Every structure is written in C-alpha cells, then in structure tokens.
C-alpha cells in the first residue's frame, strides 16, 4: 500500500486585510515573508535582497500605496499573517493597465485554501477598481502546485522561459502566466 501524507488539520478560518506601511503586525508580516523565502527555493531573489528588514517591507507597502490599482493583501488566521499577495501595476503610461502579481503562503498553511482566497479576493478588488486589466506572474516550471493554483484561478500559460533562473549551478525554466481581470475563472465542473 502506498504511503500517504499525514492528514492536515482543518483549514483555519482566516480574513483578508489590506496591507499598508502602518500594518499593525508588520514584524510578523516580515517574519512570514522570511518563512516563505526560507521554505521555498522558487524565488528569483533572496530574502536579504528583497526585504533586509521590516522597514524595507514598509517602504514597499508605501510605494505600492502610491500606485493606482496596486494591492497588497494579507491573509490572517487567528490574527496572525499567514499569506500575502501583491499586485504591482507597471508605471509606463502604455502599460498602466497591466500589473505583476506575487504571492506567498506560510509553510504551515500551504494547501489549505489560503492562496485560493487571496487570489479570488485580489481579482475581485481589481475588477471593482477598474484600473488593472491584465495581471501577469512568473513561476518556476517545476512548481507544479503553484501553476495548478493559478490555472484554476483563470491564469493562462503564455510562455516557458528556458533556463530563466539560476540557483547555484542549476538552471530552472520559468513560466509566464496571464489573466484578464474581467474574464471569469473557469468553473470546476467545466
């Protein structure tokens, strides 16, 4: 009989809140991002490069706040951050209708619906905002769970970028995905 993964406890209830430079649990959010980077080698930059301290994270939240259509959402379980999602619109005038998405889920909360909820909430907010029309993301080709999650949310695979990311001496392909905000995600029954 094949070995099975141990059963996970019930999915915790969580809320989706807007992240801002004055987010009251900024040190915990910074620790969450550190956990995501420490437990996943699929990021193209290191944690130290991206967020050397909580002030760097607060600076990014402040910069996002100034961009029309930008989002930074935090999933909280029991009042603590357990996932985040950012949508950063492009600055060029002819590309302002497009944005880049990044998401991370705490290592203890993966495969519990947090990412699905963050994506659904973000796409709903983007549609209501009427500024961002197209969302792009990059994911490593070997990160099958993430690709499946994004595909289920309506993202389509546009291209595979061969040898896009190098970690040490190994090269990994990247997958470019896109979703039009005003197009509904496919339903599970189709």
**Within a domain: residue 9?**
no
Spell out, as residue ranges, where the chain has pLDDT lower than 50: 1-9, 189-190
Whether 77 is in a domain gets the answer yes
98 near 89, Cβ under 8 Å?
A: yes
Going edge to edge, which strands form the sheet with 98-105?
Answer: 14-18, 71-77, 80-89, 98-105, 134-140, 170-180, 156-167
Angle at 33 between CA 24 and CA 15, to 5 degrees: 50
**Per-residue confidence (pLDDT) for residue 43, from 0 to 100:** 67
Collapsed DSSP state (helix, strand, coil) of residue 115: helix
In a domain, 146, yes or no: no
Q: Per the domain annotation, does 188 fall within a domain?
A: no
How would you label 18-54 residue by residue, b for 16+ Cβ within 10 Å and e otherwise?
ebebebebbebbbebbebbbeeeebbeeeeeebbeeb
Are 67 and 90 contacting, i.e. CB atoms less than 8 angstroms apart? no
Distances in Å between the Cα of 84 and the Cα atoms of 35, 70, 149, 183 are 12, 14, 15, 23
Residue-wise pLDDT tens digits, 20-73? 888 899 999 999 998 988 887 766 677 777 888 888 899 989 999 999 999 999
Q: Considering the domain boundaries, does residue 83 fall inside one?
A: yes
- If one counts every other C-beta atom within 10 angstroms of the C-beta of residue 7, the result is 6
Provide the number of structural domains found in the chain: 1
- Give the integer Cα–Cα distance in Å for 113 and 39: 18
CATH label of the domain that carries residue 65: 3.40.630.30
Position 99 scores a pLDDT of 95
- Please check whether residue 162 lies inside any domain of the structure: no
84-95 CB burial, b ≥16 within 10 A, e <16: bbbbbbbeeeee
Q: What does the block give as tokens for 134? A: 């197209």
User: Which range of residues forms the domain containing residue 88?
Assistant: 14-136
In a domain, 141, yes or no: no
pLDDT per position as a tens digit, 60-73 = 899 999 999 999 99
- 183 is a domain residue: no
Q: What is the pLDDT of residue 42?
A: 67
């Amino acid at each position: 009989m094949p070995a099975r993964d141990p059963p996970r406890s019930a999915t915790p209830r969580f809320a989706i809140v807007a992240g801002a430079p004055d987010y009251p649990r900024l040190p915990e959010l910074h620790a969450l991002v550190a956990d995501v980077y420490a437990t996943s080698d699929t990021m193209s930059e290191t944690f130290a490069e991206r967020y050397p301290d909580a002030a760097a994270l607060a600076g990014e939240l402040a910069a996002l706040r100034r961009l029309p259509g930008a989002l930074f959402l935090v999933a909280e379980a029991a009042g603590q951050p357990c996932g985040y999602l950012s949508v950063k619109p492009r600055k060029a005038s002819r590309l302002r209708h497009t944005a880049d998405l990044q998401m991370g889920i705490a290592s203890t909360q993966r495969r519990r619906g947090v990412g699905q909820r963050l994506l659904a909430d973000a796409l709903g907010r983007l549609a209501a905002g009427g500024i961002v029309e197209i969302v792009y993301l990059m994911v490593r080709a070997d990160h099958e769970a993430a690709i499946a999650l994004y595909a289920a949310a309506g993202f389509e695979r546009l291209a595979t970028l061969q040898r896009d990311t190098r970690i040490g001496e190994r090269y990994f392909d990247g997958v470019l995905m896109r979703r039009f905000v005003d197009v509904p995600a496919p339903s599970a029954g189709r």
